[in-house]
Structure 1
Amino acid sequence: MSEDMTRLTLRLAKPEDVPALTALMNAAIAELLTPFLPPEGVAASFEVMGLDSQLIADGTYFVVQDGEAIAGCGGWSRRATLFGGDHSAGRDAAMLDPVRDAARVRAMYTHPDHTRKGVGRMILAACEQAAAGEGFSRAEMAATMGGVPLYEACGYEAIEPFTAPTSKGYDVPLVRMGKALTPAPVR
């Protein structure tokens, strides 16, 4: 385990974390998407990305801390929405059936000061373990172009590319990705 990962701690997000999480997400979108999208694409991404507070209410959203600093966040969902924040159009709070549906990995963000430290891997592992513990055998997500390399390295495979249209006239490119989950151990 790297020295960076030994300093990282994982916990569930709380409603009082929302201002800090919003700032982290804004920084991640603004800085980490610039190698993958033109300036108008980064600006449009704010319209389709962000925090879905339902994840915090459901107890499925994690925060990774590096000391006192929030280094990253992300979660999973047993609800139908694949991506987007509270402000995004097309959200669907319908509950998924673990027997036939894939759990959703949602709203994964790493602060630009904490990339390449294992933050994303830590969150993905926690999401996968929790979803498998609730009987899901598969997870899916809508990955940004910046996230695809991490998710591929963690065993996710591309299902289909698609775009999220915005009112700014820019269609944000995303990739639906999926992975089979390891069943939770029987206790």
Structure 2
Amino acid sequence: MQVRPANPEDTESMMHLHVASIHAFGPETYTDEQVEAWATLPDGAPGYPIGEPGEYYVVAERDDGLAGFGHLTDDGEGYGTDAAVEAVYVGPDHAGRGVGSAILAHLEGYARASGHESLGLWASLNAVPFYEASGWERVAERDHETSGAVLTVVEMRRDLGGARTEL
């Protein structure tokens, strides 16, 4: 598996994987109506601002194609942190095979190398155990409105220790 920076040609595949992941894993903790609202991506592929300042996207690839993607933003203001992990999504056929962990580790390494000392995120309820196993701490439960539905999410935080490392 390879984790690499995303490019604009990846957006269509990322969008399809995003929706497939929500449909596969969302029903573990949310109602059908909540899952459908969450899976509604009104901006479509243009909703992934790859290459925009302050936005960093990566994709994980396996021999059989796109396995997952992640998104880090330099704007952690809403989390009280230096930066935020906005997304880690793994395709249903790749779950449990280390894809999410590789993406998250890459995003954290990039954040450290960029001088960030802390990261925040809002995790869907089904993803909380994944983040906790990766060293993230719960801060609070929040309500997140998406396409007219409200989902309970967990705000989480990770201290990066201030040590700069190179990718």
Per the normalisation by structure 1, the TM-score is: 0.78
1:181 to 151, 160, 163: 160
SS in 2 for 1:146: helix
1:53 aligns with 2:33: no
Alignment partners' CA distance in 2, 1:55 and 1:160? 30
Find the aligned partners of 1:42 and 1:129 in 2 and give their Cα distance.
31
Deviations along 1:141-183, one digit per CA (max 9) or x if unpaired, are 1111111110000000111111112453x31111110011141
Structure 1 residue 82 displacement after superposition:
6.0
Report the identity percentage.
Answer: 28
Deviation at 1:79, TM superposition (A): 2.4
- Matches of 1:167 and 1:119 in 2, distance apart? 28
Deviations 1:25-79 (A, max 9, x none): 0100111111111111111213589874235434611100111410000021102
SS at match of 1:147: helix
Change beyond 3 A, Cα 1:119–1:127: same
Q: Decide whether aligned partners of structure 1 residues 167 and 62 sit closer, same or farther in structure 2, where only a CA change above 3 A counts.
A: closer
One of 113, 136, 141 as aligned partner of 1:133: 113
The structure that is strand-richer by fraction is: 2
Residue 32 of structure 2 is matched in structure 1 by: 39
Give unpaired runs (5+ residues) of structure 1.
Answer: 1-7, 84-99
Change (3 A) 1:57 1:119: same
Hey, what's the Cα distance between the residues in 2 that align with 1:129 and 1:167?
32
Q: Give deviations 1:94-138, integer Å, cap 9, x for gaps.
A: xxxxxx832101121000000001111111111111111111111
Q: Distance in 2 between matches of 1:162 and 1:110?
A: 23
Across the two proteins, how many residue pairs are aligned to each other? 162
Aligned match of 1:119: 99
Distance 2:11 2:48 in 1: 8
Helix, strand or coil at the partner of 1:171? strand
Residue 66 of structure 2 corresponds to 70
Q: TM-score, normalised by structure 2?
A: 0.86
- The one-letter code matched in structure 2 to 1:53 is Y
Letter of the structure 2 residue corresponding to residue 60 of structure 1: Y
Please, which moves more after superposition, 21-30 or 74-83? 74-83
